[in-house]
Chain A
Amino acid sequence: MSAGADKKFVPVEMTKLQAGMLVDRPLHIFLPANQRYILMVNAFQPLEPRVLDKLKHFGQVFSTEPELDERYPQLAEAARSVRALCDDPEIAPFEKNRSLRGISSWIIDCVLGTSRDDYAPLFFFHRAFGVPKPETLLYVADFSVDAYERGLRLAAVSGLLALWLGYSDTGYLMQLAETVFCAELRGTNLAVPGVDAADFRFRQTGRGDELAELVELAQWIVMRVPGARLPATRVARKIERQFRQHFAVSQAAA
C-alpha cells in the first residue's frame, strides 16, 4: 500500500500501449480523490484488452520505472539488427553468426553472467522476433500464471542460446520459442492461439538431441542462483567455442 511517497511516478504515453503487448514496466493509475496510485498491470504481464480499456478510461497512466529503451539504449537497435540478419538470405551462416554474436554480446552478462537480468533477454528476444504472439501470451496467462512466467523466460533464454549456437533462422527460432513457451500446455491437448504447429524435434531430452540439451541448459540458467557458474554440458561448451572463435576474430581484427 503505497501512496507514492517514496516512489517517483513518471507518466506513460497511452499511444504506446496496445492490447496483448508485453508490458515492460508496472503501470499505475492515479486516484485524485484518494491521492493514491493504484497498480493496474505488472511488468512482464500481457496487457489485457479490458485493462487497457480501464487505463484509457482513466486517461493517464504512470509507472515507477523508466521506459525500456532508456534502461537499455542498445536494445531496440540490437533487436532490429538481429532480426534483419536472421531474415537476410544473402549472408552465409558463418558470417551471420559472427555478426549476431557481435550484436548481442552486450546481453551475455544478463543471461550467462553474474548480473542476472530478466528484462534484457526477454524483451530483446520478444522485440526481435515478436514471439510469443499477443494472443498466445493472453491465453497462457489465463491458463496459468506460473506456466506463463516460466515459459516466457525459458523461451527467451532458449532462443538466445540457440541464436548463439548458430541457429540463425527466423522461422526456426520463432518455432522453438513458441514451442518452449507452450511446453507446459502440451498435456492439455488444447490448441494454443497464435501457435501454428509446435516443433518437438528437441523433446527427446534423453536421446541426445542438441536442442533438448539447450532447453535444459536454459532451464538451469533461469532457475539458478545468481552468481552460479555454468554447468559443463556439451551445449555450454559449444557456446563457449562459438564465443571464443567470435572474440578471437574480433581481437585479431582489432
Chain B
Amino acid sequence: MSNALLAAVNKIKFGVEELLEPDAQVFFENIFSTRHIGRVVDFMLFQCQPFLKASQDPAYTEYRFRHMIELAIFNAWANYRTGERSRVVELEFGWDKQRLVISASHIGAEGIGGFVPGAEPANEVSIRMQKMLTQVQALADGLIVRHDPVSGRVQAIAFLAADETEKLAETQYLDLSQLPAVQQTLEPDASVPEELSNGDIEAFMADENAAPEAAAPIEDDVTIAGGGAEPDTTETRIKGSAPEAELETRISGSSAIGQDKTKIVIGGGGDKFGEDKTKTVISGGGSVGPNKEVMQVKRLDAGAGAAGGSNKREQLLMEKLKVMSEQINALKAEKAGGNMTLSSVEAAGPTGDSGVASKREQLLTDQKKVMGEQIVTLNEQLNTLRSEKNGLQVALSESNRNAAEAFSKAAAEDDKDSDEVVKIRDEIEKEKGVPEKAKAMVQGLLEATTKERGDLKQRAREIDAMLRRRDYEYKTKESGFVEQLRLMEGMIKQRESALEKSKEAATNLSAIIEKHRVESSSATDTAEMTHKLATADKLLQAEKENTDRVQKRCDDIQKKLSEEVSARGTAQLDSAKFKKLADDLQRKVNQFQEAGQKGSSTDLLNITDARDKAVRQVEQLKQQNRELQTKLLANAPTKSSANSKDGAKNSPAQSEAELKHKLELADKLAKASKEELDKTKKRFDEVKVAENKLRGELSKVQADLIKAQAELKAAGIRSAGAAAAAAKTTPPPKPGTKPKT
C-alpha cells in the first residue's frame, strides 16, 4: 500500500483526494494569516469527527491531528519565500475509512534543500524546516514531502492511517523537478456536474447524493485544446485581411476612413460608428482553430448580444468583396489602357499562334510591373493615411464639432461608396466572357497582391504600434520632465521668495543698525555717556573717601575703646580695692565701736579720727569713680554721633541705584545696537573694568569693616554694640551682587 501511495503522489499534479476513496470528504482552506490557525484547525477537527470517532483512541488521534496540522502550517508560514507581497498556505485535508490526509503547500524560501528528516540541511531555513518536519513525522503515520526546486513549491503531506501496514517508517522526499512537465488537461465533456456548469444551483444540489464523477484522478497526458470546441467562426476574422488591420488600428482612425469608407472612427476610441455591437477581432493566431498561446475571443464590446452573427459575416464578406472589386477594377483599367486583354490572349491560345506565348509572358511581366506600382501606390496610400491621421488629430484637437461634421460627411460618402461597390460587384458577376484561366491567373495575382498588401499593412500596423509606444514613452517622459520642471520652478519660486524675504529682513536690519549708529554717534548720547561715566567716577571716588573716613573713624573708635577698656579695668580694680578697704574699715569701726563701749575715751577719739580719715578716703574714691563714669558717659555721645555719620551711607546707595538703573538702560541700548558700536563697547568695557576694581576695593573695605566690628564685639565693649547697630542700618553689599556704579 505504501508503494501505491508513493506512486499516487509521485506526479506533477496532485491532490489529497487522489489518496482517498471516491466518496471521501475533501476540504480546502487557504490561510493568509496566522491569526485564525486555531479556528481553522478546530473547524477541520469538527469536519473529520467521523474519522476520529472511528479510531481506536479518538483523543490521541485528535491530539496527533491537531499538532500535525499546526506544525505543518507553521512550517509553511515561517519558511515562506521572502519578498512576496502576501503569503498563503494552501491546506487540503480529507479522509475516508482508511486514512486521514492533510497537505500544506507553500512557496519555500530561496536556497532550501536537504530539509527532510535525515538529510543534510543546506542552510538555516532548511534546518528549521527539518526540525518541524521531524516533529510532524513523529506524530503522523507517514510523511511525504513534495518539492519543486524550479517553482519553489513545497508540499508536506501527512496522514494518519487506520491500518498499521500503511505506515511509512521514513519521510519520503520527492523532487518534482525530476518529473517531466505536463500539459493541463481540459476536457470539454468531462464530468463536472452539468448543473453547476450551467449555473443551475438547484438542480446541482438536487443531484448532491449522486456519486461525484469528478473524484476520478485527473489524467495528465492530454493537452489543452482550447476547450476542444470549435470557435464561433462567425465571430472571428482571418489574420491579414484588410479589415482586421483597420480594426486593430485603434487610434489611427483616419486610416480607417481612408481605407474603408463604410466606417467612421472617432479618434481615441477605435470605435466605428454604428458598428459597436458587431465588431469582432482575432489576434495574432493566424489560424481559425483554437490557439493556446493567444486566445481568439469575441470582442468585449459585443456585449451580451451574440445575435447578429450572420450580419457580421455578411459585413465581413462585403468588406472582402469590396477590396477584391477594387483590385479587379484597377486591373480592368490597366487592361483597357494596354489594349490587350487576358481574355483575348486566352482566346488566342487554342489557335496555336506562335506569338501567343511571348505575348502572355509580356503580359505577365506587365502585370508584375503593375503590381509593383500598386505596391508603391499602396505605400503612398499608407503614408497619405498617416498624414491624414495626423491631420485628423490636429483637426480634432482644433474643433471637435468640425471633425464630427467631417465625419458625418465622410459617412455620407460611405453610403455612396457602398453603392459603387455593389455596382462593381454586379459588373464583375455579369462579366461572364472572361476565360477561366485568365480569371484564375488574375485571382492568383490578386491574392498575391492582397497578401503583399496584408504584409504591408502588418508592417504598417507594427510601425503604428511602435509609434504609439514611442509616443506614449515620449509623453510619459515629457510629462515627467514637465513635472520636474514644474517642481523646479516651484522650488526656484520658493527660493526667490525666501531670498526676497531675507533681503527685506537684511534691509530692515541694516536700517535699524544705521539708525542706532546715527543715534549712538550723536553728540548728545556721547555726552550723556561721558557725563554718566564722570558721575559714576565721582560717586565711586566719594564712596571711596567715605569708606576711608569710616575706616579712620573706626580706627579712632577702636583706639578710644581700648583706652577706655583699660581705664575701666583700672577703675574696676581700684574700686574693688577701695571696696575691700572700705569693708576692712567698716569692720574696724565696728570693732572699735564694740571696744569703745568697753574702752577709754582716748581710744575712742583715735578710732573716731581713723574712721573719719577712712570716710574721707572713701569719699575721694567715690569721687574718682564718679569722674570716671562721667568720662565714660561723655564718650557715648561721640559714638552715637559716629553712628549718625555712618547712616550717611544711605544717600550714596540711592545714587548707586539710580546709576544702576541708568547703566541697565545703557546696557539695553547697547544690546539693542548689537554691540555694533565699538567705541561705546570699549568705553563700556573700560567702565566695567573700573567697576570691577571699585567693587573689589569696596568689598575689601566692607570686609575690613566687618572684621573691625567682629573685633569690637570680641572686646565686649558696649559701644561695639552701638557700632554694630550702626553697621546694620547700612547693610554691606552681598558678595556677587551687581556692582553699583
Interface residues of A (CB under 8 A from B): 1-2, 26, 29, 31, 33-34, 36, 38-45, 48, 50-51, 54, 57-58, 65, 89, 92-94, 97, 105, 108-110, 112-119, 122, 139, 141-147, 149-150, 152-154, 165-169, 171-172, 175, 196-197, 199, 201, 204-210, 212-213, 216-217, 219-220, 222-226, 228-234, 236-245, 247-248, 251
Whether the Cβ atoms of A201 and B269 lie closer than 8 Å is no
The interface size bin for chain B is: 35 or more
Contact assessment for A38 and B186 in the assembled complex, using a CB-CB cutoff below 8 Å: no
Given the known interface contacts A167-B88, A207-B150, the answer about A237 and B192 at a Cβ–Cβ threshold of 8 Å is yes
Within the complex, which residue of B28, B192, B271 is in contact with A41, where a contact is CB–CB below 8 Å? B271
Given contacts A225-B230, A247-B201, contact A145 B248 (CB under 8 A): yes
Complex-state Cα separation, A150 to B298, whole angstroms:
9
**Chain B residues positioned under 8 Å from A209 (CB to CB):** 151, 153
- Determine whether B322 belongs to the interface, using a CB cutoff of 8 Å to chain A: no
- The reply on B686 being an interface residue by CB < 8 A is no
Does residue B685 face the partner (Cβ distance < 8 Å to A)? no
In contact, A220 and B226 (Cβ under 8 angstroms): yes
Residues of A within 8 A of B40 (CB): 92-94
> Please, could you name 7 A-B residue pairs with CB atoms under 8 Å apart, sorted by A?
A1-B274, A1-B415, A38-B273, A57-B400, A109-B199, A165-B28, A229-B197
Q: Which residue of A lies closest to B232 (CB)?
A: A225
Distance in angstroms between the alpha carbons of A153 and B299 in the assembled complex: 10
> Does residue B408 face the partner (Cβ distance < 8 Å to A)?
yes
A97 and B15 alpha carbons, distance in the complex (Å): 20
Are A224 and B264 in contact (CB-based, < 8 A)? Answer: no
* Nearest residue, chain A, Cβ from B475: A142
Q: How far is the CA of A196 from the CA of B181 in the complex (A)?
A: 30
* Interfacial chain B residues near A197, Cβ < 8 Å: 85
B155: nearest residue on chain A (CB-CB)? A208
Is B405 a contact partner of A34 (Cβ separation < 8 A)? yes
Q: Is the CB of B88 within 8 A of A115?
A: no
Check A206 against B404 for contact (C-beta < 8 Å). Answer: no
Contacts of A116 in B (CB 8 A): 304, 306
- A93-B29, A142-B468, A229-B194 known; A247+B186 contact, CB < 8 A: no
Q: Which residues of B contact A147 (CB under 8 A)?
A: 283
Would B281 and A149 count as touching, CB distance under 8 A?
yes
Other contacts beyond A197-B85, A207-B176, A225-B232: 6, CB < 8 A: A2-B274, A65-B303, A112-B197, A167-B88, A224-B188, A238-B15
Segment 283-311 of B: residues with Cβ below 8 Å from A: 283-284, 290, 294-297, 299-304, 306
Q: Which residues of B contact A228 (CB under 8 A)?
A: 188, 227, 229
A224 to B227, CA, bound (A): 6
Q: A145-B248, A169-B86, A222-B297 are in contact. Are A230 and B196 (CB under 8 A)?
A: yes
Contacts of A240 on B, CB cut-off 8 Å? 192-193, 196, 212, 214
> Which B positions have Cβ atoms within 8 angstroms of A?
12-15, 17, 26-33, 35-36, 39-40, 43, 84-86, 88, 90, 105, 107, 148, 150-151, 153, 176, 181-194, 196-201, 204-205, 208, 212, 214-216, 218, 224, 226-227, 229-232, 248, 250-251, 264, 266, 268-274, 276, 281, 283-284, 290, 294-297, 299-304, 306, 396, 400-401, 404-405, 407-408, 411, 414-415, 465, 468-469, 472
User: Is B297 touching A226 in the complex (CB atoms < 8 A)?
Assistant: no
With beta carbons under 8 angstroms apart, the residue of B15, B198, B232, B248 that contacts A114 is B198
Q: Of A142, A169, A172, which one neighbours B472 at CB under 8 angstroms?
A: A142
Q: Are A247 and B300 in contact (CB under 8 A)?
A: no
Complex Cα–Cα for A78 and B449 (A): 55
From the candidates B32, B86, B153, B407, name the one contacting A93 in the complex (CB within 8 A). Answer: B32
A108/B301 in contact, CB under 8 A: no
With A1-B264, A29-B404, A39-B266 known as contacts, the answer to whether A232 contacts B196 (CB < 8 A) is no
Main secondary structure of the interface of B (DSSP, over half): loop
Question: Complex: how many Å from CA A58 to CA B41?
Answer: 61
Q: Are B271 and A39 in contact (CB under 8 A)?
A: yes
Q: When the two chains form their complex, are residues A223 and B227 in contact, meaning their CB atoms are under 8 A apart?
A: yes
CB nearest to A227 among chain B residues? B198
CB distance from B16 to the nearest CB of A (A): 11
**B581 CB to nearest chain A CB (Å):** 119
Complex A-B, nearest 3 residue pairs according to Cβ-Cβ distance, in ascending order:
A113-B199, A232-B190, A109-B199
Contacts of A41 in B (CB 8 A): 268-269, 271
Given A149-B297, A150-B283, the answer on whether A216 and B186 have CB atoms closer than 8 Å is yes
CB–CB A208/B14 < 8 A: yes
A238-B28 contact in complex given A115-B199, A232-B192, C-beta closer than 8 Å: yes
A-B pairs under 8 A by CB, number: 297
On whether the beta carbons of A231 and B400 are closer than 8 Å, the reply is: no
B645 to chain A, nearest CB (A): 93
**Chain A residues positioned under 8 Å from B212 (CB to CB):** 240
Neighbouring A residues of B405 by C-beta, 8 Å: 31, 33-34
* Residues on the B chain within 8 Å of A248, using CB: 205, 208
Whether the Cβ atoms of B283 and A146 lie closer than 8 Å is yes
Once the chains bind, are B33 and A113 in contact (CB under 8 Å)?
no
Q: In the complex, A144→B247 CA distance in Å?
A: 12
Bound CA span A33–B40, Å: 67
A233 near B185 with CB under 8 A, answer yes
Contact B273–A1 (Cβ < 8 Å): yes
Question: Contact between A223 and B226 (Cβ–Cβ < 8 Å)?
Answer: yes
- Report A56 CB to chain B, min CB distance, Å: 10
B30 and A206: CB pair below 8 A? no
Q: How far is the CB of B495 from chain A (nearest CB, A)?
A: 32
Residues of chain B with a CB closer than 8 A to A223's CB: 226-227, 231, 290, 295-297
- List, in ascending order, chain A residues with CB within 8 A of B296's CB: 223
A241 to B33, CA, bound (A): 23
Chain B residue contacts of A89, Cβ below 8 A: 33, 35
Check A199–B269 contact: CB distance below 8 A.
no
Contact assessment for A172 and B248 in the assembled complex, using a CB-CB cutoff below 8 Å:
no
Point out the residue from B28, B183, B272 that lies within 8 Å of A242, measured CB to CB. B28
Q: Let me know if A31 and B227 touch, CB within 8 A.
A: no
Collect the chain A residues with CB atoms within 8 Å of residue B284's CB: 146
- CB proximity of A229 to chain B, nearest CB, Å: 4
A149 touches B214 (CB 8 A): no
How many whole Å from B278's CB to the nearest CB in chain A?
A: 12
**Residue numbers in A under 8 Å from B84 (CB-CB):** 199, 201
Residues of chain A within 8 A (CB-CB) of B39 are 92, 94
Contacts of A205 in B (CB 8 A): 183-184
- Distance in Å: Cβ of A118 to nearest Cβ of chain B: 6
* Contact with A229, one of B192, B266, B415 (Cβ below 8 angstroms): B192
Q: Give the residues in chain B near A245, CB-CB below 8 Å.
A: 27
Output the residue of A115, A153, A167, A233 with the most chain B CB within 10 A.
A233
* Shortest beta-carbon distance from A59 to chain B in Å: 11
Chain A residue numbers with a CB within 8 Å of B269 are: 39-42, 45, 51
Contact partners of A142 in chain B: CB under 8 A: 251, 468-469, 472
Q: Which residues does chain A contribute within 8 Å of B200, judged by CB atoms?
A: 113
* Closest Cβ–Cβ distance, residue A126 to chain B (whole Å): 12
* Min distance, Cβ B115 to any Cβ of chain A, angstroms: 19
Question: Could you say which residues of chain B place their CB within 8 Å of the CB of A42?
Answer: 269-271, 276, 301
> Closest CB-CB distance, A139 to chain B, in whole Å?
7
C-alpha gap A2/B367 in the complex (Å): 41
**Nearest neighbor of B189 in chain A, beta-carbon distance:** A229
Note all chain B residues with C-beta closer than 8 A to A2. 273-274
A231 to B335, CA, bound (A): 58
Cross-chain contact of A113 among B86, B181, B197, B273 (Cβ < 8 A) = B197
CB contacts (< 8 Å) of A97 on chain B: these are 29
**Chain B residues within an 8 Å CB radius of A33:** 405
A220 and B224 contacting across the interface, CB-CB below 8 Å: yes
Given A31-B404, A89-B35, A225-B230: A1 and B197 interface contact (C-beta under 8 Å): no
| A105 CA to B30 CA, complexed, in Å | 20
Q: Do A251 and B196 touch across chains, with their CB atoms under 8 A apart?
A: no
Pair B151/A204 contact, Cβ less than 8 Å: yes
The answer for the CA separation of A112 and B294 in the assembled complex, in Å, is 21
Q: How far is the CB of B273 from chain A (nearest CB, A)?
A: 5
Chain A residues with CB under 8 Å of B468's CB are 142-143
